[in-house]
Amino acid sequence: MRQARIKTDYKPTWYHCYNRIAGTKLDLPFGNAEKEQFVRFIRRVSILYSVRVIAYQVLSNHFHILAYAPAEEPDAEEMCRRYKAFHRGKRTLEPDSPSCRIWQGRSRDISWFMRHLQQLFTVWYNRTRPVRRRGSLWADRFKHTLLESGTAVWACWTYIENNPVRAGMVKEVGDYRFCSHGAWLQSGRHPYAGNVKAVALPMLRELFGIKGLPDIRETMNKALSDKECREVPGEGRSLHLQRRVRYWTQGLVIGSQLYVTEVMRRYKPDEAISRHRSAQLKDPSGSILYAWRRLRVTGEV
Position 198 in a domain: yes
**Is residue 88 one of the residues assigned to a domain?**
no
User: Is 127 inside a domain boundary?
Assistant: yes
Residues in CB range of 216: below 8 A, 6 or more apart? 196, 200, 201, 204, 210
Q: Looking at the DSSP assignment, which residues form a beta bridge with residue 145?
A: 16
Q: Determine the structural domain holding residue 150 and report its residue range.
A: 13-72+108-293
Its pTM stands at 0.90
Residue at 221 is within a domain: yes
Q: What is the pLDDT of residue 286?
A: 67
Percent of the chain with pLDDT strictly greater than 90? 72
Could you tell me if 263 and 148 are in contact, meaning their C-beta atoms sit under 8 angstroms apart?
A: no
Quick: pLDDT tens for 83-98. 999 999 999 999 989 9
- Does residue 122 form part of some domain? yes
Q: What is the CATH number of the domain that holds 252?
A: 3.30.70.1290
Q: Is 142 inside any structural domain?
A: yes
Q: What is the pLDDT of residues 174-203, one digit of tens each?
A: 999 999 999 999 999 999 999 999 999 999
- Structure confidence at residue 2 (pLDDT): 61
Closest CA to 94 of 86, 85, 84: 84
236-271 pLDDT, tens digit per residue, is 333 343 344 577 888 899 999 999 999 998 888 877
Is-contact 139 145, C-beta < 8 A? no
In a domain, 274, yes or no: yes
14-26 pLDDT, tens digit each? 999 999 999 988 8
Q: Is residue 278 part of a domain?
A: yes
* Contacts made by residues 236-243, CB under 8 angstroms, sequence distance 24+: 236/168, 237/166, 238/165, 238/166, 240/159, 240/162, 240/166, 240/284, 241/166, 243/281
How many whole angstroms separate alpha carbon 233 and alpha carbon 224?
A: 18
Residue 170, Cβ neighbours under 10 Å: how many? 14
* CA separation for the pair 62, 169 (Å, rounded): 14
- pLDDT at site 285: 63
| Distance between CA atoms of residues 110 and 144, nearest Å | 9
Whether 299 shows a pLDDT value over 80: the answer reads no
> How many separate domains does the chain show?
1
